[in-house]
Amino acid sequence: MKLSWIFWWIVNVCWLVLFAVGTFFVWTREVDGAGAVQTPKIKLASFLVLLFAFLFPLTIQFAWFIINKIVSKNKKAQIE
């Protein structure tokens, strides 16, 4: 397997773990850093902010995936 694909998978797993930990933290806390009690609506709003923050790395990972696919396809075509 090409080194670029290995790095792509490693980075994806790291982002997934960070998102899972962030989601767990948002949904299990009772009080936030400012001392406000967390209601289900506030937890949902916090989760949506977290989700929005992870859209940027998701787009980068998707672009990286497309580039890896194109490069792998071109190298495979050169070998044959």
Q: How many Å apart are CA 32 and CA 26, to the nearest integer?
A: 9
Q: Which 3 state secondary structure label does DSSP give 29? A: coil
Average confidence (pLDDT) over 16-41? 91
Tell me whether residue 42 is in a domain: yes
Tell me whether residue 8 is in a domain: no
Tell me whether residue 3 is in a domain: no
Domain total for the chain? 1
Give the pLDDT score at 73. 82
Tell me whether residue 60 is in a domain: yes
Token pair in block for residue 57: 């790395």
Instruction: Say if pTM beats, i.e. exceeds, 0.75.
Output: yes
Note down the domain range covering 42.
22-74
Give the pLDDT score at 60. 94
Residue 44 to residues 9, 38, 39, 40, 49, Cα–Cα distance (Å): 29, 10, 9, 6, 9
Tell me whether residue 7 is in a domain: no
Q: How many Å apart are CA 52 and CA 20, to the nearest integer?
A: 14
Give the pLDDT score at 20. 96
Tell me whether residue 38 is in a domain: yes
Confidence check: pLDDT of 13 > 60: yes
The residue type at 45? A
Q: How many Å apart are CA 46 and CA 59, to the nearest integer?
A: 21
For the stretch 29-80, pLDDT in tens is: 988 888 889 999 999 999 999 999 999 999 999 999 999 888 888 776 676 6
